[in-house]
Each structure stands twice: as C-alpha cells, then as structure tokens.
Homo-oligomer: A and B are copies of this chain.
C-alpha cells in the first residue's frame, strides 16, 4: 500500500473575516468555528492525524504567511512548509506539491485539503477520506462531494455518473456556481453534490494528467524538479513559478481528465465563508444571540458579537432593540454590519485599501 501524504492549502487573502482576518492573518489562522482555542488549520491537521501523520503533512502557503502558519502548527517540521513566491491559483500549487512529494516518495497518494473549512463529524470525515484514498490508489483522480442540504448558489456542484467501487461514482460533470432555480433542481434531484475542494491522486497519475491537459504547467514543474535535483530549487522556483498559468485544478485538470471519481459524504461540512456562517455555527441564547459572556440583550435578537480584544477586564456589551447584526471588535478596528450583508465586509477592505490604510488590512 502507498503512503498517504496530505497537502493543506493555506493561502488566502483574509478579507471575508475582517477585522479579525488580515492580509497577514487569513481565516485559517483564526479560531472561527469549533473549539475556541483552535485555529481552522490546526483542526484540519488534527482531524486527519489518525490517517496522515505530521511528517507526511505538507502546508502549501504564501511566502509571507509561512511564519504565522508555522506558529499555528508547532507539531510540523519547517521542511514541510511549501512557500509559493506568488499566488497562482490551485493548479500550479497542487502540481508543485505533487512534484515535491513525488521526489521523496514516487508511489505516494496525495490528499489535497483546504485549511479553512469546518467539519462537525470528524470520524465520518475520516471514513470518507479513507475511501477516497483507496480509489486514488487505483489510479483515479478523486474528489469528495458533500451531500447538499440547501440550494446554495455560492458553491460549485459535481454531477454523479456511473457507480464504481467503494460507494464512489464516476464524475459526469463539474458545474460552476448555479443560479437559484438550478440549485434547487440539483438538491431535489439527488444527483449533485457540493464541490468541497478536496482532491486525491497518485503523484504519477496527477503528473500524467497535467502533462496531457496543462503542458505549460508540466514544463514549468519539470524545470523546478530538475533544479531541485541540482540544489537550485529556490532560485528556479522564484523565476519559474510566477510564469505558470493561474488556473484552478478543477478547471485545468479535473474537468478535462478521464477517470475522475467522487466519493459522496455527509459529515457536517461548512466552508466558514462569512460572519453569517460564524453566527449559524455559534451557540445562541433563547433569542438567537451569540454574545460575549455577561452581555445585556434587551429586545435584541439573532445578533453576533465577537470581542477579540485582549483586555484584562471583559467588556460588558449591551444591545437594546437591534436585530440581525454582526459586530466584531479587535484591538484596532470594529465592524458593524447586518448578518445578511456579511459578504459585503470586502467593501470595507476595498475602502481601506483605496485610502492606503495598510495597518488595518
């Protein structure tokens, strides 16, 4: 049996959770769901540990984020951090990780996992992951499809094809974010799953698929690979990586390749996409409020207050007559926004960027 390696994708711009998230502190480095003292990336590494030990867990992140990410994952060796000199989307990133792992372990199976998702049922998730690995060993490019629970228009969908072994299916088609009506059809029809951005493959199989469908990327990766064998990886990576095509692995490889499989799963997955999701996943009082301890709420419903300041004396929050608000306070900024507009926090980040307020980005 092959060794399983994990590649955790940990880039990210840090805009959707402003003011908690920043350019230097994207959401995977924050405790936004689950345990109050565990970052999303920390949970990601911990929950696969029974299947993938730390020495085979690789972190793909931006050069500027290596320090902070390493601090969040003290159990990992610094040599397991793969720093991209610039962001080039997931195809170059996954291709590079596959090539790097392949040099050490040519028979490896790689599990690519996002670093910023929350999973409620961890044993259930590991069960699905083990099956995805098994199918990847047999030469398939594999993804996990989450059984949809609502007609979400913010996700891509995967249409099931014929059943293959291990309760998996061939993928018939990847579908971009659908309109509402189409999404409703998908949920009702039972043949579409959410694309959760998880991929499983033998390094040899991915290398061959890239060679076939993304020859430019294959050439670049070959150059980096050759340089690594000469001990010149750093220099050539910095030269070559920025020239690679910026495209997602879905678009560049998965949608075009043969033998693509999907393993359906239901394990309480959420992508922690906005403060709205944080409210949904928080403990609420009887009025739907998720507030700091000892808050006063009078005629106030369905609000989220996150006090992320480090003060000794806990602030007393008092909400009177306000509903459906998100309020987030940090040491140097405060956000006030309706829950239903939580995605619009990017407008704040844009405004701060436009005025050059770099300390708050």
Please indicate which of the listed interface residues A329, A333, A338, A357 has the most CB atoms of chain B within 10 Å of its own CB: A333
A277 to B336, CA, bound (A): 22
* A residues 330-357 in Cβ contact with B at 8 Å: 331-338, 341, 344-345, 347-348, 351-352, 357
B336 x A318 contact (CB < 8 A) = yes
Interface residue? A315 (CB, 8 A): yes
Checking B296, B311, B348 against A351 with a beta-carbon cut-off of 8 angstroms, the contacting residue is B296
Question: Known contacts A294-B357, A298-B344, A357-B294; is A334 also within 8 Å of B317 by CB?
Answer: yes
Give the interface centre of A322, A325, A345 by most chain B CB atoms within 10 Å. Answer: A322
Contact mask A286-304 → B, CB, 8 Å, 1/0? Answer: 0000000010101000000
Q: Does A205 belong to the interface (CB within 8 Å)?
A: no
- The chain B residue with its CB closest to the CB of A335 is B318
Which of the residues B18, B344, B357, B360 comes within 8 Å of A321, measured between beta carbons? B344
A322 with B337: CB separation less than 8 A: yes
Contacts A331-B313, A332-B313 given; indicate if A320 touches B347 (C-beta within 8 A): yes
A residues 216-273 in Cβ contact with B at 8 Å: none
Contact assessment for A317 and B336 in the assembled complex, using a CB-CB cutoff below 8 Å? yes
User: What is the bound-complex CA distance between A18 and B112, given in angstroms?
Assistant: 52
Contact for A332 among B18, B316, B333, B338, CB less than 8 A: B316
Residue A72 at the chain B interface, CB threshold 8 Å: no
Nearest-neighbour CB distance to chain B for A43, whole angstroms, equals 28
Smallest distance from the beta carbon of A258 to chain B beta carbons, Å? 46
Of the candidates B298, B322, B327, B331, which one forms a contact with A347 in the assembled complex, judged by CB atoms under 8 Å apart?
B298
Closest Cβ of chain B to A65, distance in Å, is 22
Asked if B348 contacts A296 (CB within 8 A), the reply is yes
* A333-B357 contact given A296-B352, A298-B344, A348-B296, CB 8 Å threshold: no
14 inter-chain pairs at a CB distance below 8 angstroms, sorted by A residue, are A19-B316, A296-B348, A298-B351, A313-B331, A315-B329, A315-B333, A316-B352, A317-B334, A318-B337, A319-B336, A320-B336, A320-B337, A320-B338, A321-B337
Using a CB–CB cutoff of 8 Å, the interface residues on chain A facing chain B are 18-19, 294, 296, 298, 311, 313, 315-322, 325, 327, 329, 331-338, 341, 344-345, 347-348, 351-352, 357, 360
Beyond the given A296-B351, A321-B337, please list 9 additional residue pairs across the A-B interface where CB-CB is below 8 A: A313-B332, A315-B331, A316-B332, A316-B333, A316-B334, A316-B360, A318-B337, A320-B337, A321-B338
